[in-house]
């Protein structure tokens, strides 16, 4: 990694850092924080799905685990928010490792990997909805104590800084992965598993490392969500919405690229806001737009667009 | 088999059999590959050559028999483990990482022995020069010609720094001038100290390159010897041309 | 354990009845997999759409769902045909992960269109026979579910006849077995794909009409069925029609019994665990050679 590689990331960090100095609208700040939380979850998905080609439909399992553990350790065991947040990330990574071990050792790929991750997320959701420690259907509430020592901030702008800092870290980690041996081997696994094996790549070990990192990063997004909204229930933490968001942003913004997930999250949520302002508060209309964008992106991959334009001009 | 003789075997295959359901793809195959040699494995289509390669390289597990690499039993070990031990293979149907550049493709192989990206990329450049891909380093692998892809297969395998390289029909599908270009590359690989075992159909190249040839037909090794011995052996002629062909050919010569 | 035998018997019988309709939902999924070799993630959303269609037929037009079943099936056949021909086929360009994403996109669109139109309220229809029961020995069986059970087997027989004895059925089987060969003998593969997808969607329309008298409908109701349907399809063998129907019965009973022993909310877990277990333990065996 050279200084020049880091330049775009530094530019993002600087831009994000300046926003709270100029933007005071709570609505706008709220939108930005939420988008960054999604971007962080999506950066996590991208490590496994974008670089490794293993499309998870169940990243909610990791988001929810990070979120719930962060909340539960504080509410039920009186732990400080920062170690609770770290524990949430660690547990999410462990859950990723466990699910990955079962799925990858069985050789599940493509649609079957998508299905099994989806099913795991649903199992977690049903369990969280029925269990006492998660607060069951009523959910769990983190007590409001706006103090930096509690990982809570009186100003939304401060929280934006924190979220932007975490996304910046995720971008740097992604870049580091891209430039590392693990990254090269992961991409090799995505492109052709048999060839990767023949070149000495331990495919199972590489996939497991990738899913642990991926799950940990998405778990961090969950923990951040818990600290920002201070409330969780099973459909928030383990709902399909976050599995879809985590997958959609990298696909739209560019899977397997450093900035893809962030870009995708900004585009999608920008579009969602625009749609809502045009169509009014019709429930679900923003998600209809997401679905249409997803199909269009698959039909007309952005990297092909220059070629398509050329053909069209001819 | 321990590598102490004058012409020690780097690879020893002992009574290897592979059954797929009722089909016996490889039947009690036994042969050696001498250290430092270029050895050929030939045989008619469907003889089981590629299956035998898969068994040696760990992509399939033998139903019975042993595979020894430098005297060590490697039967049933995983491909990535064998690659680490110095056994590399190419694929008959080329398997490029299509979305990556030539440089990145070769670097994946180099990363087996290198931990740092800069070192792996440097190895990639050096290997590319050896196989004649130096001017195509930044091309996407998908944009290479057939001959280019074959070279890429060899380059990636070489980048793992193997002791023994298994080449599965690297000359198939190439035109005569492309074949002429690759022959010295294979020879140079051997000169650099890598033992080569190659499956090949292009007999001219086999005659040209190999010191020793094993002939596989219907899953069995039916003949081993120098290329000249092997092509003259009646059982080899029959395996290629059908039962009684050797006698007919001889009869024709007499008439 | 703690329950008297007739309660357990009733649970088993009701499980069988519900399971038959699950089997019908799974039938569409497995048929599409068997021929197109794709996993249709939009299956659940299409079921939701069909249930709303049956709901509208009842509430706006006053048509009984059992009577609406056939016209709805025709309508959804056309819808399915169009979706495959105009959206999934062109957008996926034959790549597995693209099909995955396109059907996911479709499911998001359909589900949220339903949400936009009908809002998130759960709705049910009011038919005189909704609560009727039929005595079967010591057990009381729900009348709508009994109808569903019978209708499922009628649809199963109809499909069997279609596949076995009609030219279209033969073409579908040919494409399922050997796509390239079928194309070479002049079968329009894109058309057959769309017909198959249409039949799968038509099965959903009939399932919806059978489900509606005894189930509520909401924009996300399809999700509840789709994982169940996936489980059935995995259990019965991807692409196997008989497997789907039998798998449906098994899952119906498992759900009914685990609901009895674990309670409503945890009851679903049994199904997911079977699903995960089957996927992990015998994915290739149950999916056939393509997996």
Which CA distances in Å does C96 have to A220, B146, B159, C40?
A: 30, 26, 32, 11
This model of the complex carries an ipTM of 0.88
Rounded to whole angstroms, the Cα distance separating B22 from C156 reads: 36
C131 within domain boundaries: yes
Confidence at residue C282, expressed as pLDDT on a 0 to 100 scale: 66
Q: Which two tokens stand for residue B33?
A: 């590959």
A268 within domain boundaries: no
C13 within domain boundaries: no
Hey, how many other C-beta atoms are within 10 angstroms of the C-beta on A30? 14
Average pLDDT of A189-213? Answer: 96
Q: Is the pLDDT of residue B15 over 60?
A: yes
Q: How does DSSP assign A150-214, residue by residue?
A: GT--SSHHHHHHHHHHHHHHHHHHHHHHHTSHHHHHHHHHHH-HHHHHHTT--HHHHHHHHHHHH
Among B63-72, C159-168, C265-274, the range scoring the smallest mean pLDDT is C265-274
A26 within domain boundaries: yes
Nearest-CA neighbor of A192 among B134, B108, B144, B151?
B108
Rounded to whole angstroms, the Cα distance separating A59 from A61 reads: 5
pLDDT tier for residue A162 given thresholds of 50, 70 and 90: very high
Confidence at residue C273, expressed as pLDDT on a 0 to 100 scale: 83
Q: Which two tokens stand for residue B75?
A: 């039967």
Q: Which residues contact B80 (CB under 8 A, 6 or more apart)?
A: A197, A200, A201, A202, A203
Confidence at residue B203, expressed as pLDDT on a 0 to 100 scale: 84
Rounded to whole angstroms, the Cα distance separating C148 from C144 reads: 6
Q: Which residue of A has its CA nearest to C103?
A: A295
Please tell me whether residue B236 adopts helix, strand or coil conformation.
Answer: helix
pLDDT, tens digit, 9 for 90 and up, residues C117-160: 998 888 888 888 777 888 877 778 888 888 889 999 899 899 98
pLDDT, tens digit, 9 for 90 and up, residues C79-90: 999 999 999 999
A119 to chain C, any CB pair closer than 8 A? The answer is: yes
Q: Which residue of C has its CA nearest to A114?
A: C100
Distance from CA of C3 to the nearest CA of A (A): 23
Average pLDDT of C278-290? Answer: 57
8 Å CB contact of B83 and A198: yes
DSSP annotation of A304 reads: G
A308 to chain C, any CB pair closer than 8 A? The answer is: no
Distance from CA of A123 to the nearest CA of C (A): 6
pLDDT tier for residue B253 given thresholds of 50, 70 and 90: very low
Which CA distances in Å does A257 have to A171, B167, C99?
A: 10, 34, 22
Using CB atoms, list chains with 3+ pairs below 8 Å to chain A. Answer: B, C
Q: Which two tokens stand for residue C69?
A: 């079943």
Rounded to whole angstroms, the Cα distance separating C222 from A264 reads: 28
DSSP annotation of B96 reads: -
In this complex, which of A55, A115, A284 lies closest to C97 when CB atoms are compared? A55
**Phi/psi class of residue B169: alpha, beta or left (left: φ > 0; alpha: ψ in -120 to 50)?**
left
Q: Which residue of B has its CA nearest to A2?
A: B118
In terms of Cβ atoms closer than 10 Å to its own Cβ (0-12, 13-18, 19+), residue C142 is buried
Q: Is the pLDDT of residue A178 over 70?
A: yes
Hey, how many other C-beta atoms are within 10 angstroms of the C-beta on B59? 18
Chains B and C touch (3+ CB pairs under 8 A): no
pLDDT tier for residue C290 given thresholds of 50, 70 and 90: very low
Instruction: Show which of residues 70-109 on chain B sit within 8 Å of chain A, judged by CB atoms.
Output: 78-81, 83-84, 88-91, 95-100, 104, 107-109
In this complex, which of A102, A106, A123 lies closest to C272 when CB atoms are compared? A123
Alpha carbon of residue A199 to chain centroid: 31
Residues A246 and A63 sit within 8 Å (Cβ to Cβ)? yes
Hey, how many other C-beta atoms are within 10 angstroms of the C-beta on A275? 17
- Domain holding A124, by residue range, is 3-240
Residues B209 and B183 sit within 8 Å (Cβ to Cβ)? yes
Average pLDDT of B237-248? Answer: 75
Q: Vertex B26, ends B21 and B28: CA angle to 5°?
A: 115
pLDDT tier for residue B36 given thresholds of 50, 70 and 90: very high
Which residues of chain A lie closer than 8 angstroms to B119, CB-CB?
none
8 Å CB contact of A127 and C269: yes
Rounded to whole angstroms, the Cα distance separating A139 from A130 reads: 10
B65 to chain A, any CB pair closer than 8 A? The answer is: no
Rounded to whole angstroms, the Cα distance separating B175 from A258 reads: 42
Q: Which residues contact A100 (CB under 8 A, 6 or more apart)?
A: A207, A208, A211, A212, A215
pLDDT, tens digit, 9 for 90 and up, residues C158-217: 998 998 899 999 999 999 888 888 888 889 999 999 999 999 999 999 999 999 888 889
A35 within domain boundaries: yes
Confidence at residue C143, expressed as pLDDT on a 0 to 100 scale: 86
Q: What pTM did the predictor assign?
A: 0.91
- Domain holding C152, by residue range, is 19-221
Rounded to whole angstroms, the Cα distance separating A58 from A114 reads: 7
A247 within domain boundaries: no
The torsion of the CA quartet C193, C194, C199, C204, rounded to 10 degrees, works out to 110
Confidence at residue C244, expressed as pLDDT on a 0 to 100 scale: 87
Rounded to whole angstroms, the Cα distance separating A32 from A270 reads: 10
Most confident of A176-190, A292-306, C155-169, C253-267: A176-190
Rounded to whole angstroms, the Cα distance separating A70 from A90 reads: 11
8 Å CB contact of C107 and A291: yes
8 Å CB contact of B117 and A203: no
A157 within domain boundaries: yes
Q: Which residues contact A282 (CB under 8 A, 6 or more apart)?
A: C116
Rounded to whole angstroms, the Cα distance separating A63 from C37 reads: 31
In terms of Cβ atoms closer than 10 Å to its own Cβ (0-12, 13-18, 19+), residue A5 is middle
Q: How does DSSP assign C32-97, residue by residue?
A: HHHHH----TTHHHHHHHHHHHHHHHHHTT---HHHHHHHHHHHHHHHHHHIIIIIIHHHHTT-HH
Q: Which residues contact A262 (CB under 8 A, 6 or more apart)?
A: A12, A39, A42, A43, A167, A171, A249, A253
Alpha carbon of residue A133 to chain centroid: 25
Rounded to whole angstroms, the Cα distance separating A270 from A286 reads: 10
Q: Is the pLDDT of residue B190 over 60?
A: yes
- Number of domains chain A is built from: 1
pLDDT, tens digit, 9 for 90 and up, residues A29-81: 999 999 999 999 999 999 999 999 999 999 999 999 999 999 999 999 999 99
In this complex, which of A184, A190, A192 lies closest to B111 when CB atoms are compared? A184
Fold for the domain defined by B9-87+163-254: Rossmann fold (3.40.50)
pLDDT tier for residue A5 given thresholds of 50, 70 and 90: confident
Q: Is the pLDDT of residue A308 over 70?
A: no
**Alpha helices, DSSP H, located in chain A:** 3-22, 26-46, 60-75, 81-105, 110-130, 156-178, 181-191, 193-198, 203-229, 234-237, 240-253, 260-279, 285-299, 305-313
**Phi/psi class of residue C142: alpha, beta or left (left: φ > 0; alpha: ψ in -120 to 50)?**
beta
End-to-end CA gap in chain B: 48
A57 within domain boundaries: yes
- Number of domains chain C is built from: 1
Confidence at residue A61, expressed as pLDDT on a 0 to 100 scale: 98
Q: Is the pLDDT of residue B165 over 50?
A: yes
C7 within domain boundaries: no
Confidence at residue B1, expressed as pLDDT on a 0 to 100 scale: 44
What proportion of chain C, given as a percentage, has pLDDT over 90? 36
DSSP annotation of C123 reads: B
Average pLDDT of C46-51? Answer: 95
Confidence at residue A44, expressed as pLDDT on a 0 to 100 scale: 98
pLDDT, tens digit, 9 for 90 and up, residues B71-117: 999 999 999 999 999 999 999 999 999 989 999 999 999 999 999 99
Confidence at residue C128, expressed as pLDDT on a 0 to 100 scale: 81
pLDDT tier for residue B204 given thresholds of 50, 70 and 90: confident
pLDDT, tens digit, 9 for 90 and up, residues C204-214: 999 999 998 88
pLDDT, tens digit, 9 for 90 and up, residues A106-155: 888 888 899 899 999 999 999 999 999 999 889 999 999 999 999 999 98
Confidence at residue A81, expressed as pLDDT on a 0 to 100 scale: 96
Residues A252 and A42 sit within 8 Å (Cβ to Cβ)? no
pLDDT, tens digit, 9 for 90 and up, residues A258-287: 999 999 999 999 999 999 888 877 888 889
Instruction: Show which of residues 178-207 on chain A sit within 8 Å of chain B, judged by CB atoms.
Output: 179-181, 184-185, 187-188, 190-192, 194-203
Nearest-CA neighbor of A243 among A71, A99, A122?
A122
Q: Is the pLDDT of residue C286 over 50?
A: no
Hey, how many other C-beta atoms are within 10 angstroms of the C-beta on B98? 14
pLDDT, tens digit, 9 for 90 and up, residues A75-112: 999 999 999 999 999 999 999 999 999 999 988 888 88
Distance from CA of C213 to the nearest CA of A (A): 26
Block residue for tokens 């033969």: C170
Beta-carbon-side half-sphere exposure of residue B69 (alpha carbons within 13 Å)? 23
Confidence at residue B5, expressed as pLDDT on a 0 to 100 scale: 47
pLDDT tier for residue B205 given thresholds of 50, 70 and 90: confident
């Amino acid at each position: 990694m050279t200084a020049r590689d880091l330049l775009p990331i530094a530019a993002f960090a600087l831009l994000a850092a300046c926003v709270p100095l100029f933007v005071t609208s709570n609505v706008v700040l709220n939108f930005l924080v939420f988008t960054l939380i999604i971007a962080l979850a999506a950066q996590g998905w991208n490590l496994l799905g974008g670089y490794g080609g293993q499309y998870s439909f169940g990243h909610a399992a990791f988001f929810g685990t990070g979120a719930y553990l962060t909340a539960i350790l504080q509410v039920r065991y009186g732990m400080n928010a920062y170690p609770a947040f770290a524990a949430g990330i660690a547990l999410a990574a462990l859950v990723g490792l466990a699910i990955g071990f079962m799925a990858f050792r069985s050789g599940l790929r493509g649609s079957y990997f998508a299905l099994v991750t989806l099913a795991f997320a649903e199992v977690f959701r049903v369990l969280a909805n029925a269990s006492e420690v998660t607060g069951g259907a009523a959910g769990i509430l983190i007590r409001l104590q706006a103090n930096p020592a509690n990982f809570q901030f009186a100003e939304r702008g401060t929280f934006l800084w924190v979220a932007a800092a975490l996304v910046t870290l995720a971008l740097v980690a992604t870049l580091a992965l891209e430039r590392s041996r693990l990254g090269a081997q992961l991409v090799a696994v995505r492109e052709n598993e048999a060839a990767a094996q023949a070149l000495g790549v331990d495919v199972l070990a590489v996939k497991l490392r990738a899913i642990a990192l991926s799950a940990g990063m998405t778990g961090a997004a969950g923990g951040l969500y818990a600290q920002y909204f201070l409330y969780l229930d099973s459909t928030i933490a383990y709902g399909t919405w976050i599995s879809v968001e985590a997958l959609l942003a990298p696909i739209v913004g560019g899977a397997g690229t450093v900035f893809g997930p962030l870009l995708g999250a900004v585009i999608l949520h920008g579009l969602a806001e625009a749609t809502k302002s045009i169509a009014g508060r019709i429930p679900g209309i923003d998600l209809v737009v997401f679905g249409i964008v997803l199909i269009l992106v698959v039909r007309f991959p952005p990297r092909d667009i220059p070629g398509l334009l050329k053909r069209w001009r001819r | 088999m321990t590598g102490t003789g004058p012409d020690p075997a780097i690879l020893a295959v002992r009574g290897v059999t592979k059954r797929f359901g009722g089909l016996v793809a490889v039947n009690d195959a036994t042969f050696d590959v001498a250290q430092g040699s270029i050895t050929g494995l030939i045989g008619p289509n469907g003889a089981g050559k590629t299956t035998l390669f898969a068994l040696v390289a760990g992509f399939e597990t033998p139903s019975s028999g042993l595979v020894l690499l430098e005297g060590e039993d490697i039967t049933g070990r995983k491909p990535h483990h064998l690659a680490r031990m110095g056994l590399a293979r190419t694929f008959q149907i080329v398997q490029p990482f299509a979305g990556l550049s030539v440089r990145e493709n070769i670097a994946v192989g180099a990363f087996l022995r290198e931990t740092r990206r800069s070192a792996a990329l440097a190895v990639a450049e050096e290997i590319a020069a050896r196989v004649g891909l130096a001017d195509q380093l930044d091309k996407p692998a998908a944009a290479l010609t057939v001959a280019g892809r074959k070279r890429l297969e060899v380059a990636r395998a070489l980048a793992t720094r193997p002791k023994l390289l298994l080449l599965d029909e690297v000359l198939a599908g190439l035109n005569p001038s492309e074949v002429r270009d690759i022959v010295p590359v294979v020879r140079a690989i051997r000169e650099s100290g890598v033992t080569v075992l190659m499956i090949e159909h292009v007999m001219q190249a086999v005659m040209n390159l190999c010191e020793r040839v094993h002939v596989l037909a219907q899953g069995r090794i039916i003949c081993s010897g120098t290329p000249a011995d092997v092509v003259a052996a009646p059982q080899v002629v029959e395996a290629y041309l059908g039962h009684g062909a050797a006698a007919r050919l001889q009869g024709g010569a007499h008439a | 354990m703690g329950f008297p035998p007739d309660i357990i018997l009733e649970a088993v019988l009701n499980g069988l009845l519900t399971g038959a309709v699950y089997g019908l939902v799974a039938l569409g999924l497995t048929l599409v997999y068997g021929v197109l070799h794709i996993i249709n993630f939009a299956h659940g959303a299409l079921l939701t759409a069909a249930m709303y269609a049956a709901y509208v037929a009842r509430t706006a037009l006053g048509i009984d769902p059992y009577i609406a079943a056939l016209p709805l099936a025709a309508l959804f056949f056309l819808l399915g045909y169009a979706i495959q021909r105009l959206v999934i086929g062109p957008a996926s360009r034959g790549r597995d992960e693209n099909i995955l994403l396109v059907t996911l996109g479709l499911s998001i669109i359909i589900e949220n269109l339903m949400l936009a139109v009908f809002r998130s309220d759960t709705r049910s229809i009011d038919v005189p026979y909704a609560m009727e029961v039929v005595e079967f020995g010591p057990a009381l069986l729900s009348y709508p579910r009994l109808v569903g059970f019978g209708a499922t087997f009628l649809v199963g027989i109809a499909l069997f006849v279609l596949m076995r004895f009609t030219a279209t059925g033969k073409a579908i089987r040919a494409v399922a077995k050997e796509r390239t060969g079928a194309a070479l003998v002049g079968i329009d593969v894109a058309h057959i794909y769309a017909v198959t997808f249409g039949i799968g969607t038509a099965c959903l329309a009939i399932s919806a009409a059978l489900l509606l008298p005894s189930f509520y409908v909401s924009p996300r109701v399809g999700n509840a069925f789709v994982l169940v349907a996936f489980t059935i399809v995995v259990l019965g063998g991807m692409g196997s029609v008989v497997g789907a129907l039998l798998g449906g019965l098994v899952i119906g009973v498992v759900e009914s019994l685990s609901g009895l022993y674990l309670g409503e909310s945890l009851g679903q877990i049994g199904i997911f665990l079977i699903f995960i277990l089957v996927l992990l333990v015998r994915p290739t065996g149950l999916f056939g050679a393509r997996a």
